[in-house]
Structure 1
């Protein structure tokens, strides 16, 4: 007797799983840059998404053919990422071919959604055709390099081959892969990439250059800031992280200029020195950056942003954010949403009473002297959107030995953090650019 599959499978239920998974995928992406979410809280929300994804995979090949493969035609990035993730995770005979057909004909937006799905897949479920994309059109090369770098898969040819690519997306992906794989790139190639007019390529080259041991990169960052190059968020962050007490001196002129103030204040929050905290205090009266300045001040001094130091209403993430398009957020952009409005007089009064407790020569994190142990604990305890920068600093301080993927599912992050706690890497406590700036 032949049983009807539409009776065996509750298709309405699986359609609900797909719809909810797509919605929760977007919600999950937003938690990665949330100002009010901690890692454990993000993990709880993530469990809802993973439950929907698991349900779709457990539906088997019939669900894949009837619901997931048609979803590959969706123009919604979240739905597309969901479909790619579940099709490849299910490891059904023709699903990988269906995804490949999509990839070979995809728009840039669709390719980004595919990239994001590949990034968070478990390594064993990556499609076998991934390396073959390196011989195809530049957008597909970029996709392959990005996914392979994320999963620590070395390409068959030296990365330098793609670092010099004319297509900036390919060069960017190759440079990011070099960072992940700890592949040293020669200075002439990096210098060429650093001069790119594409900020993403330049930023990837700056990080790869620092990990390749090219100390002149610090001076290039300073020169970029002094020259007011566009897209200065990462150079400002690097100077704030690396220049020690001199960081606030280098960044203060940018904070004085309205067009670069948000970038500079965001970066100052990672400097940790008294001079940076005092610079942030100056901008508590600027409605455009006041919440960001208070957050930065809090990150250094440990002042808890609760009553009486904040007003009643915080700016809404949903009202002010332009994220949530189903792709990974830009992790080094200065966020300004979801933060409470500071009570300026109360914060300044607190500082007047407590300033004497802080040594201008000491770096602080949440009011405690900066130590490698306290810093690594921040990867567990800091708000989600600040963790991206802390992870970058951990990568730089460990010379690439520890690289936490803060855009991965939290279950993978927990594995990395647990191993870090059990065998912490050697981290230098000195300023990364020590001796290069007076």
Structure 2
């Protein structure tokens, strides 16, 4: 396609190569979608994302920004009406990144009339937007929005780690479920007395998604009632979703690990339990997982085993690709419960594991481990090791470890696993000097909900 430059303008005006800009938008849309998928990949790490889809995406977004007002008028504003959220997101991000003018108010105005797919793209662009003062603009516009777009804006503010205390203080528990859920997620960022009012209201007879959000926030504030409910559900075998399993796993205590190992007997939640066991760090969990590897050649069990022990599972000697007609589904959702982006569940790769090779590796590695210790990637668990692991584990495991970091720091360290990689790394750098609780959760869940 020949380029279609804009008509000659004032002296010094740039010649716009429209075919190049259109290619930038197409490629940015594709890479935007690819980056979103990579955020939950079971076989990619933060470094892979930073040097791969994210770097390429930023290059194309930069190309759109250099198109200036002409590109905004001819390509970007029309793209906000697209049906694909990723195309809307790429266009909205580029509009807000303008060096010529602040277009954020116009992007925010578009939220009020956007269809669902368009709203999703706009909100994701706002989460990733880099313009100074964006949080203030969001806080000003939020109270005047209808419930659904207001919920979206509140989610954006939570993603950005903004001070949502004034906004949450004006809202009342109840109302439409999306807004209520967004408020419960926001509770992790506000003072504990305000958070307690929200968490308490969602502990009884609330839909599962609200109870999950309340428990995630409640544990960050060290509230005892959400913790006791999570533990009771697992120990009594009455688990309805993912959050209680993961709560016990990141607690890391022997009692909690024992309850999770028993959960392998629950057929409807077995894959979820396999996933959660990888966060326990205990040798009893590793041994239970090794039994399953031996019997089934399970990649899911090996993935959790490797998270505890440091087994280099990516080495070819441990893996065998599954023939195409035997490939499992891309992602496991055996137990449901919890939002996939918030706390992902088990992922699946089309691999079987060579159990004999794993057992041989473990015979050599086992003497380095103590029965009463807790381990992460083969190293004794420590706050420093938890921070380091967020660079090393798969993208799919990072949100759960980020939750543990937030809980153990009582909200002082909250890493958003869907943010730009350099934003996440800055948060991880700040986390290195923060005091954290190192015991199982039972020892410090003392607040009243």
Equivalent residue for 1:40? Answer: 47
Which residue of structure 2 lines up, in the alignment, with residue 216 of structure 1? 225
CA offsets 1:156-188 (integer angstroms, 9 cap, x no match): 735244361321211221222221345543545
1:175 aligns with 2:180: no
Name the SS for the 2:320 alignment partner: strand
**Equivalent position of 2:127 in the other structure:** 119
Q: Check whether the contact 1:162–1:170 (CA below 8 A) recurs between aligned residues.
A: no
Task: State how many pairs are aligned.
Answer: 426
**Mapped pair 1:59 → 2:70:** no
Aligned to 1:375: 386
Q: Return closer, same or farther for 1:54/1:182 CA change in 2, 3 Å cut-off.
A: farther
Structure 1 residue aligned with 2:335: none
Give how far 1:435 is off: 8.5
Corresponding residue for 1:3?
Answer: 8
Contact 2:80 2:118 survives alignment (8 Å): no
Matched, 1:358 2:369: yes
Which stretch shifts more, 160-169 or 30-39? 160-169
Contact 1:77 1:113 in 2 (8 A): yes
Question: Is the counterpart of residue 394 in structure 1 residue 425 in structure 2?
Answer: no
CA distance, structure 2, for counterparts of residue 135 and residue 25 of structure 1: 30
Rounded to whole Å, the distance in 2 between the matches of 1:18 and 1:251 is 47
Structure 2 stretches lacking a partner, 5+ long = 1-6, 333-338
Which residue number in structure 1 is paired with residue 3 of structure 2? none
Matches within 5 A, 1:311-350: 311-312=320-321, 320-321=329-330, 330-338=341-349, 340-350=351-361
Contact 1:292-1:339 within 8 A present in 2 as well: no
- Structure 2 equivalent of residue 153 of structure 1: 162
d(CA) in 2 for partners of 1:196, 1:65: 50
For 1:19-168, what aligned pairs fall within 5 Å after superposition?
19-45=26-52, 46-90=54-98, 95-122=103-130, 124=132, 126=134, 128=137, 131-155=140-164, 157=166, 159-162=168-171, 164-168=173-177
CA contact (8 A) 1:134 1:144 kept: no
1:205 aligned residue: 214
- Give the distance between the partners of 2:406 and 2:40, measured in 1 at CA: 19
Give, in angstroms, the shift of residue 409 of structure 1: 0.6
1:183-220 Cα distance to aligned partner (Å, 9 max, x none):
54354531321336444322221122123331222111
Determine helix, strand or coil for the equivalent of 2:65.
helix
Q: 8 Å contact 1:56–1:63 — kept in the other structure?
A: yes
Q: Is the alpha carbon distance of 1:312 and 1:189 closer, same or farther for their aligned partners in structure 2, counting shifts above 3 Å?
A: closer
RMSD, aligned α-carbons:
3.0
Q: Find out whether 1:310 has 2:319 as its counterpart.
A: yes
In structure 1, C-alpha distance between the alignment counterparts of 2:43 and 2:311, rounded to whole Å: 16
Alpha-carbon contact 2:216-2:243 (below 8 Å) kept:
no
In 2: Cα distance, 1:71 partner to 1:370 partner = 48
Residue 427 of structure 1, CA deviation: 1.8
Aligned position for 1:290: 298
| Residue 403 of structure 1: aligned partner | 414
Report the Cα distance in structure 2 between the residues aligned to 1:217 and 1:178, rounded to whole angstroms. 14
Please tell me whether the aligned partners of residues 311 and 378 of structure 2 are also in contact (alpha carbons under 8 angstroms). yes
Q: 1:182 to 1:297 in 2, by over 3 A?
A: farther
Contact 2:79 2:91 in 1 (8 A): yes
Counterpart in the other structure of 1:228 = 238
Equivalent residue, structure 2, for 1:266: 275
Query: Structure 2 vs 1, CA of residues 104 and 50 (structure 1 numbering), >3 Å: closer, same or farther?
Result: same
2:418 matches 1:413: no
The Cα shift of 1:233 comes to 1.3
Q: Please, what TM-score do these two structures have when normalized by structure 2?
A: 0.86
Provide closer, same or farther for how the CA distance between residues 92 and 147 of structure 1 changes in structure 2, counting only shifts above 3 A: farther
In the TM superposition, residue 350 of structure 1 has moved relative to its aligned partner by 3.8
| Contact 1:194-1:205 at 8 Å conserved across structures | yes
1:163/1:174 contact within 8 Å kept: no
Range 33-42 or range 52-61, more displaced = 33-42
SS at match of 2:77: helix
Deviation of 1:311 after TM superposition, in Å, equals 1.8
Q: Distance in 1 between matches of 2:401 and 2:165?
A: 32
Conserved in 1, the CA contact under 8 Å of 2:263 and 2:270? yes
Gaps of 5+ in 1: none
